[in-house]
Amino acid sequence: ATGALVGTVLHMAGQLDDALLGSLSWGRFRAVLRPKVAGAQSLARAVPEGKAAWALFSSITAMIGNVGQ
């Protein structure tokens, strides 16, 4: 297939489960990480290796919670 070259891939998926990391169960933790990992894997399969710069962004808030929200 031919087409435009991809110069940069930005991946900014998120899933909010507002709680401190210590109070999250493994199920809730997996639910927060699932869209991030699945999206990165999908993009990695779609973009040929070495053909684009990558930026995977995740706020630490997604991991430890947003206290006082």
Interval 30-47: pLDDT, tens = 887 888 888 888 888 887
Say how many C-beta atoms besides its own lie within 10 A of residue 40's C-beta: 16
Which of residues 66 and 47 earns the better pLDDT score?
47
Arithmetic mean of pLDDT over the chain: 74
Q: What is the pLDDT of residue 43?
A: 82
Residue 2 in contact with residue 47, Cβ under 8 Å?
A: no
Tokens 């990992």 sit at which residue?
37
Residue of higher predicted confidence among 27 and 21 = 27
| Percent of the chain residues past pLDDT 70, beyond the cut | 72
